[in-house]
């Protein structure tokens, strides 16, 4: 199935309140057929509640959820064309793998021969061939998750819901499952809706991500847009690592802009912002987009001049902290104004991390298209 623009799930002005607590606050969004959609947010932001409302385990206090054009308000979970993979996997402990995977088909009265065929097919899909007679307590967490996946996929749902699917796995397995899930989704062509608090997970698997904060959608965008063009400070900070500086918009023309940041100096951009002149704005600058230089050689100034001809994106500071992470080294640099800025630098050669050390004076520059101006 190719990705079409026809929404398979329409969430319309949905709110959910538990007593006085508003878990989901007037969310509207469309999920397209065939996409890998991720709900990303910190714990307690309402993303799981939203997923459970799609599955039918919670009813919206207000608003409406449509699946494949049909209003789901009065449809109980066992009648919805969606299936869910639970955070705890919820594999039935007293049934073996075959019985677990075949459960849904069995109770809906599918003939035995067809059940056998479809269960085998599903187990093949999640690479669990040969595990048919295993009991869940004889399996690892990763294997149990595959059982849960197969148990849902065998029902051929229109949408597969996954609640924090990778949170219980160790780091290596998680990275592997990220690829496998994306691959699986590609193979079966079912729409996946995943809930996660892990930004890496969201960025690596999703075709689109909805960042949820305090029950509202903070931004809905493909992963790269989310990272490179965050819509507000929450998204910029939640997705990846970022330096944020408060400033005033002093120049705003169609092809250039400048923000005066007390902590950082004047920041030049090679595009317009379309904000009111003198407005209070924030500059978001990713650590990997800042170049480090040994000061006093003029290299930084020349590079800055080349990258931002209208004004130099340039700063000086002292290294106050560094952590060597293998592939990159992370520096915490105290600017002349006293604020801390984080810079990451790839270790392109084996000796790169030896170039800078604690208390070194350094110069920095960044390109004029690197900073993002945030209005909220």
The structure tokens listed for 368 are 């004029």
State the nearest-atom distance from the C-beta of 99 to another protein, in Å: 10
Which residue, chain included where needed, has tokens 């069995």? 106
Q: Please, which residues have CB within 8 angstroms of residue 256's CB and are 6 or more apart in sequence?
A: 268, 269, 270, 271, 272, 310, 368
State the nearest-atom distance from the C-beta of 136 to another protein, in Å: 11
Among residues 106 and 320, whose Cβ is nearest to another protein? Answer: 106
Which of the ranges 101-109, 212-220, 231-239, 243-251 carries the binding residues for another protein, by CB under 8 A? Answer: 101-109
**Any idea what DSSP says for residue 14?**
E
State the nearest-atom distance from the C-beta of 197 to another protein, in Å: 18
Binding string, residues 155-194; x marks residues near another protein by CB under 8 A: x---------------------------------------
Among residues 16 and 365, whose Cβ is nearest to another protein? Answer: 16
Say how many residues touch another protein, by CB under 8 A: 25
State the nearest-atom distance from the C-beta of 80 to another protein, in Å: 8
Among residues 63 and 77, whose Cβ is nearest to another protein? Answer: 77
Which of the ranges 103-111, 205-213, 226-234, 316-324 carries the binding residues for another protein, by CB under 8 A? Answer: 103-111
Binding string, residues 61-100; x marks residues near another protein by CB under 8 A: ---------------xxxx--xxx-xxx-xxxxx------
State the nearest-atom distance from the C-beta of 19 to another protein, in Å: 12
Q: Tell me which residues in 40-59 interact with another protein (CB under 8 A).
A: 55, 57
Contact 283, 245 (CB under 8 A): yes
For 262, 289, 371, the CA distances from 244, given in Å and listed in that order, are 12, 13, 10
Q: Please, which residues have CB within 8 angstroms of residue 297's CB and are 6 or more apart in sequence?
A: none
Per CB under 8 A, the list member of 19, 43, 107, 171 interacting with another protein is 107
Contact 341, 335 (CB under 8 A): yes
Q: Does 345 bind another protein (CB under 8 A)?
A: no
**In the sheet where 361-365 sits, what is the strand order?**
291-293, 361-365, 314-324, 328-335, 340-346
Binding string, residues 125-154; x marks residues near another protein by CB under 8 A: -----------------------x--xx--
Q: Please, which residues have CB within 8 angstroms of residue 291's CB and are 6 or more apart in sequence?
A: 300, 303, 364, 365, 366
State the nearest-atom distance from the C-beta of 22 to another protein, in Å: 21
Which residue, chain included where needed, has tokens 């849960």? 148
Contact 201, 47 (CB under 8 A): no
Per CB under 8 A, the list member of 61, 96, 103, 289 interacting with another protein is 103
Distance of CA 373 to the CA centre of its chain: 21
State the nearest-atom distance from the C-beta of 105 to another protein, in Å: 9
Q: For the residues of 51-113, what is the DSSP string, one character each?
A: HHHHHTSS--SEEEEEETTEE-TT--GGGSSEEEE-TT----TTS-HHHHHHHHHHHTT--HH
State the nearest-atom distance from the C-beta of 201 to another protein, in Å: 20
Contact 147, 86 (CB under 8 A): no
State the nearest-atom distance from the C-beta of 221 to another protein, in Å: 30
Query: What torsion do the CA atoms of 318, 323, 324, 325 make, to the nearest 10 degrees?
Result: -130
Residues binding another protein (CB under 8 A) = 55, 57, 76-79, 82-84, 86-88, 90-94, 103-104, 107-108, 148, 151-152, 155
């Amino acid at each position: 199935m190719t990705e079409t623009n026809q929404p398979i799930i329409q969430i319309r002005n949905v709110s959910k309140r538990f007593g006085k607590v508003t878990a989901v606050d007037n969310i509207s969004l469309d999920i397209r057929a065939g996409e890998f959609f991720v709900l990303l947010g910190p714990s307690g932001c309402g993303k799981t509640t939203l997923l459970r409302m799609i599955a039918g385990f919670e009813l919206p206090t207000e608003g409406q959820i449509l699946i494949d054009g049909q209003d789901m308000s009065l449809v109980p979970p066992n009648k919805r064309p969606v299936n869910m993979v639970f955070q705890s996997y919820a594999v039935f402990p007293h049934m073996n793998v075959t019985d677990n995977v075949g459960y849904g088909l069995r109770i809906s009265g599918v003939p035995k021969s067809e059940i056998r065929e479809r269960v085998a097919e599903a187990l093949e899909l999640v690479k669990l061939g040969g595990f048919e007679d295993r009991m869940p307590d004889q399996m690892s967490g990763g294997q149990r998750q595959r059982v849960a996946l197969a148990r849902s996929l065998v029902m051929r749902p229109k949408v597969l819901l996954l609640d924090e699917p990778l949170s219980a796995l160790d780091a290596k397995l998680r990275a592997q499952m990220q690829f496998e899930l994306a691959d699986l989704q590609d193979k079966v062509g079912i729409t996946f809706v995943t809930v996660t608090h892990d930004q890496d997970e969201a960025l690596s698997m999703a075709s689109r991500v909805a960042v949820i904060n305090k029950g509202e959608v903070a931004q809905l965008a493909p992963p790269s847009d989310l990272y490179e063009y965050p819509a507000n400070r929450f998204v910029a900070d939640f997705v990846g690592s970022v330096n944020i500086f408060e400033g005033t918009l002093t120049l705003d023309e169609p092809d250039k802009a400048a923000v005066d940041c007390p902590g950082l100096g004047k920041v030049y951009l090679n595009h317009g912002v379309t904000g009111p002149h003198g407005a209070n704005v924030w500059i978001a600058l990713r650590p990997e987009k800042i170049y480090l230089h040994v000061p006093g050689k003029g290299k930084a100034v020349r590079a800055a001049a080349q990258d931002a001809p209208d004004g130099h994106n340039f700063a000086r500071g002292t290294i106050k902290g560094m952590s060597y992470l293998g592939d990159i080294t992370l520096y915490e640099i105290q600017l002349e104004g006293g604020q801390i800025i984080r810079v990451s630098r790839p270790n392109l050669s084996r000796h790169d991390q030896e170039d800078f050390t604690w208390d070194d004076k350094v110069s920095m520059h960044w390109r004029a298209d690197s900073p993002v101006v945030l209005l909220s």
